[in-house]
Amino acid sequence: HLSSVENALFGMGNPLLDISAVVDKDFLDKYGLKPNDQILAEDNHKALFEEIVKKSHVEYHAGGATQNSVKIAQWMLQEPHKVGTFFGCIGEDRFGEILKQKAREAHVDAHYYEQNSEPTGTCAACITGDNRSLVANLAAANCYKKEKHLDLESNWELVQKAKVYYIAGFFLTVSPESILKVAKHVSDNNKVFCMNLSAPFISQFFKEDLMKIMPYVDVLFGNETEAATFAKEQGFKTEDIAQIARDCQNLPKQNEKRRRVVVFTQGKDDTVATVGDKVTTFPVVDIDQSAIVDTNGAGDAFVGGFLSQLVVESPLEECIRAGHYAANVIIQRVGCTFPEKPDFH
């Protein structure tokens, strides 16, 4: 049974090295950052990357939303190794070597497209209290090419081997044609395609590509802010998160054999999910505010926990419980890191 789980999860996205440091409000203001946000780096952020590495207690961790989730799913399941396959683009440099090493340590079957025109991407995680402002400098991650990597026979075979697929909305800015090729394969073969709204800017500025993929989405993830932004951009006449979930569920769907599942997390508030015709709330694990180290990676961890149970065909309630467990572990640690073994039953 276990061998059938090898490469059963496929992820594709932006492999980034997280550079994480505690900053103050002046630092956020200086670079025009909101305390809790995800944005793409622009020219005016160049100095931010130079400044953040000089902070005391700066930490480097393998990151990138989709890659984080695949790693967490592997950690939750433990055995066999290489449950998850991951595709993305890196540079031929020291940061790229670190990402390869970290993927091996996490037992993820990473197949990177390596090029030398751009350096490996980085993400500055600017931590203030239990908020995190993420500034991604995609660099190499932005150079992923369908014809140079996804279309290669040995790589496409790995795609075909999977049963559950996860691509964060962030990858829409890089290679929508790669996402579409994978999504069509999933739909045609009645497998499970999962996507994440990822950040408000995706729903705002990559709307057209997002909606091209939406008919193929079997499981849609997002947090309360992303859900609200998506609803506004789509002209849903509601701000009620349960109604937004229902409206997302009812968007056009390609494979009618599977009813779309919509899952919205809300930080410490209940998670909202569509269960058949109903919208149900699931409380998160109670935690003392003082136990929270940083919330960076909480959403990725939730998805990773959820995917770990989806791969072994557990019911939705179990998937959500696993997501809550993983997120609870991650927020008590720096970045998206985890102890040696999970304690999830």
Question: Strand, helix or coil at 44?
Answer: helix
Q: Is 339 exposed, middle or buried (0-12, 13-18, 19+ CB in 10 A)?
A: exposed
Q: Where are the beta strands (DSSP E) in 101-206?
A: 109-115, 121-128, 131-137, 164-168, 192-196
Distance of alpha carbon 143 from alpha carbon 13, whole angstroms = 11
Q: Do residues 165 and 258 touch, judged by C-beta distance below 8 A? A: no
Kindly report the backbone phi and psi dihedral angles of residue 31, in degrees, each rounded to the nearest multiple of 5, phi listed first: -105, 10
Query: What is the DSSP secondary structure assignment for residue 146, as one 8-state letter?
Result: I
**Gyration radius of the chain over CA positions:** 19
**Which residues, 6 or more positions from 107, have their beta carbon under 8 angstroms from its beta carbon?**
74, 81, 82, 83
Reading across the β-sheet that carries 109-115, which strands appear in turn?
109-115, 84-91, 9-12, 164-168, 192-196, 219-223, 261-266, 269-275, 278-282
Quick count: other Cβ atoms within 10 Å of Cβ 83?
28
Strands (E), 152-253: 164-168, 192-196, 219-223
List the catalytic residues: 300
CB 45, CB 12: distance < 8 Å: no
Query: Cα–Cα distance between 71 and 109 in angstroms, integer?
Result: 10
